[in-house]
Amino acid sequence: MKKYLLLTGVVLLWSAMAQAEEINVKELDSYSRTSAPNSNSLMFKQNANQYRQLSTEEKAEIERQRAAARKQAEEYRRQQEIYMQRQAQIEAERRAAEEAERQRLEALKPITLYGGKVKIYALVNGEVITSSEMQSRINAFIVATSIPYNAQTKNMITQKVLQAAIDEKLKIQEAKKNGVVVTPKEIATAVAGFEKANNIPAGQLKNLLAESKVSMKVWTTQIEADIAWQKLMRKKALSVAYVSESEITQAIDDVRKDMTVKKYMVSEIVINKKDAKDIHQLAEVLRQDPRFSLYAMQFSQSPSAANGGSLGWVAKGRMPATLEKAFASLKEGGVSNPVLYGNDYYIFKLEKIFHPDLDKDAKLSRDGVRKFLQNKKLEDYAIKYIKDLRNRALIEKKL
């Protein structure tokens, strides 16, 4: 009976220890020595004598319970270590996310070029583009797109904004040559429309732009260029956007034939290799930022930039093998690595895949096809027009 009670007591003791939240061997040892500094005490003698009287099986059971308790304690310590490591990882990720957000917000702050000193960026048929104008344009770009101005995007944003400034001057110059005039009333109406569309109190756009270091004059010049160009293209539309009935029939036949092969809905960003210093960083940004079309509109040097980089449906085998290979292996929504083809780098985003055996073709109306072809002709004409203006113009880039 004594042996049974002793065995039960020892088992209960080790069971309690195994269930404890933490077993500190050093503290236990210190407590034992403090409580019974004399190892020859009666209690120790009694326990030793009682233990010696246990059978081999009873002693083995005690050792088994001790081993189980030690194993549980070790497992608890291991779980504690895993928990602490995970907490440290979560904390590191939180700090990294906070730092990334801080850097993003920092990169969205208005910039100041050359400490406010005025420098000449370019001359366009004798008209000057200054650093103060570029500063306003870059800040307007940041406000409009929320694309950060940082080490990865700085060069691309600057080149994009400078080219846009050059094109605006060319458009206004060409419109005036063709007798197209934009009145102050038209500009004021466009500003009021912008305020209304963006829930800005009437007359407050100027103050909001000033907070972002954007000149109202630069802003209205952009509006003037857009209105002037639209007016000029409308004047040209009757002569360039005519679509015959045979063209409509041919387009419908081509589309129906195209529906029998596998196709990819693809968007692209194309950048000449001389301007592609940060092309690989851009690809990484595009995998994190879902606004591919926005980046395409701002940075791509392809005509498709006007459509957010969209190429529409591309039939299998229609593009050069090197380029098709870049997007054909992607999953829907995937962004490719940059691919050098000729003198340009291409980045693709695969939007959708059309399987002729699974997907049904869309119904086509002659009216819809007519409008599509008209818009396409006018778009192609506008792209060629601005290219010709650039080629004929005297453009000197100073910085």
Beta bridge pairs of residue 110: none
Does residue 243 contact residue 373 with C-beta atoms inside 8 Å?
Answer: yes
3-state percent helix, strand, coil for the chain, nearest multiple of 5: 65, 10, 25
From 174, 95, 127, select the one nearest 392 (Cα to Cα).
Answer: 174
Q: What percent of the chain has pLDDT over 90?
A: 35
Please determine, for residue 4, whether its predicted confidence score (pLDDT) is greater than 70. Answer: no
Tens of pLDDT, residues 337-392: 999 999 999 999 999 998 877 666 556 788 888 888 888 888 889 889 999 999 99
pLDDT digits (tens, 9 = 90+) for 66-93: 888 888 888 888 998 898 998 888 988 8
SS3 call for 175 = helix
Report the percent of the chain where pLDDT is more than 70. Answer: 86
Predicted pLDDT of residue 7: 42
* Positive or negative: CA dihedral 300, 335, 326, 253: negative
Average pLDDT over the chain reads 83
pLDDT in tens, 261-270: 888 999 999 9
Burial status of residue 43 (CB atoms within 10 A of its CB: 0-12, 13-18, 19 or more) = exposed
- Cα 142 from chain centroid (whole Å): 15
Nearest to 32 by CA among 67, 41, 65: 41
The single-letter code of the amino acid at 23 is I
Burial of 214 (0-12, 13-18, 19+ CB in 10 A): buried
Which residue bears the tokens 């990294």? 96
pLDDT of res. 360: 62
CA max distance for the chain: 118
- Residue that wins the pLDDT comparison between 198 and 136: 136
- Mind listing the pLDDT tens digit for each residue in 175-202? 999 999 999 999 999 999 988 888 889 9
Stated as kind and residue range, the H or E segment containing 86 is helix 56-107
Q: Both tokens of residue 216?
A: 């109202």
State the average pLDDT over residues 284-289: 89
Confidence (pLDDT) at 29:
44
Enter the tokens of residue 28.
Answer: 């236990």
DSSP character for 261?
S
Residue 361 gets which letter from DSSP?
P
269-282 per-position pLDDT tens digit: 999 988 888 889 88
CB atoms within 10 A of CB 332: 11
pLDDT for position 217? 92
Confidence of residue 43 (pLDDT cuts 50, 70, 90): low
Question: What is the pLDDT, as a whole number, of residue 306?
Answer: 75
What are the Cα distances from residue 320, in Å, to 134, 283, 332, 336, 383? 38, 21, 20, 15, 23
Strands 120-124 and 127-130, sheet pairing: antiparallel
Q: Answer for the pair 275, 159: CB distance below 8 angstroms, yes or no.
A: yes
Query: What pLDDT score was predicted for residue 96?
Result: 81
Domains of the chain and CATH, by start: 2-106 (no CATH), 113-238+393-397 (1.10.4030.10), 260-360 (3.10.50.40)
Instruction: Note if the pTM is more than 0.75.
Output: no
Lowest mean pLDDT among 36-40, 162-166, 310-314, 393-397: 36-40
Query: Rounded to an integer, what distance in angstroms lies between the CA atom of residue 254 and that of residue 151?
Result: 46
Per DSSP bridges, beta strands 120-124 and 395-397 are antiparallel
Cα dihedral across residues 224, 226, 232, 235: positive or negative: negative
Asked whether the predicted pLDDT for residue 10 surpasses 50, the reply is: no
Is the per-residue pLDDT at 37 higher than 60?
no
Contact by Cβ (8 Å): 287, 332: no
pLDDT at 30 > cutoff 60: no
Cα distances (angstroms) measured from residue 142 to each of 108, 136, 146, 169, 296: 6, 10, 5, 21, 15
DSSP 114: G
Q: What is the pLDDT of residues 208-238, one digit of tens each?
A: 899 989 999 999 999 999 999 999 998 887 7
